[in-house]
Structure 1
């Protein structure tokens, strides 16, 4: 990461969504790891919840947070695998105006390959931008959350990162 120390850090408002039929507030370790990394990086944890693996309900939660002016980005964990219950990518396709960020999933799988080898092909990690809000969908394992945050999001959500970052684009995301 190339941090430009002459630039001021701009904290953003990030919501964390855990997608799971089995996790609860007491055992959501991936959500805990992600939330801690968000606040340790200097951002605000604007909201956090757990939603069952259901594309309709997930899309509703994403839409609620997209329309909340106090949320700039959403990071979800879980629901990106290959089983029938893994529906986070499908939920993202239900969001009106969502635009794919293909490089996110590509880079995530490349980073994940360094940790888990070819098993990374089972991940459908992805990202979109919708109506001015970023949504990043990570797998539900603790390792995947660490790979996604530490290897991509920590840099791209830091306004000082050079040569570019997601934060500096935020004022222009709703342009037509």
Structure 2
């Protein structure tokens, strides 16, 4: 079973939080704040935070900007993962991904099933990698952000997590670009 190896040092990662919403402002962005609070409590660094509207091109452009920024290791977005016409976050993420982490959405659905039952099928949480940066899209509710962070990301973004984690393979994400 998974565990934290207390004999290892914690390695903080730099995380950008993106809220996708046509209506939210910083002062009422509860989901984004959940992520900011939790990543800080875990010992990670808030690299950036932004709120942008549900526009596919704008979301993808912001993701690409953070992927290109050497001060950002991980991007977590919240909002726009549902089924309505304005929900385009997943498509924007996939426009940017070099590799999708298919199991992230599967595990998120499994975690959600424990909390909200079959309503979990309406979520399209997703994860991927681009330019050596991890990208995750969570639903826009504070509860979904808590579940995504507490049950998945807090563990996978902790270098001490065993048997494996995302942080330990970060140096190898772009090994295909190195000369042989």
TM-score normalised according to structure 2 size: 0.96
Shift of 1:93: 2.2
Which ranges in structure 1 are unaligned for 5 or more consecutive residues?
none
TM-score normalised according to structure 1 size: 0.98
User: Aligned pair count?
Assistant: 175
More helix by share: 2
1:13-28 superposed matches below 5 A? 13-28=14-29
1:42 aligned onto 2:43: yes
Shift of 1:5: 0.9
Which ranges in structure 2 are unaligned for 5 or more consecutive residues?
none
What is the rounded CA distance, in whole Å, between the counterparts of 1:74 and 1:138 in structure 2? 11
Contact 2:94-2:100 within 8 A present in 1 as well: no
Which residue is equivalent to 1:127? 127
Shift of 1:157: 0.2
Question: Which stretches of structure 1, 4 residues or longer, exceed 2 Å deviation after superposition?
Answer: none
What is the rounded CA distance, in whole Å, between the counterparts of 1:144 and 1:37 in structure 2? 13
Contact 1:92-1:98 within 8 A present in 2 as well: no
1:92-107 superposed matches below 5 A? 92-95=93-96, 98-107=98-107
Contact 1:101-1:128 within 8 A present in 2 as well: yes
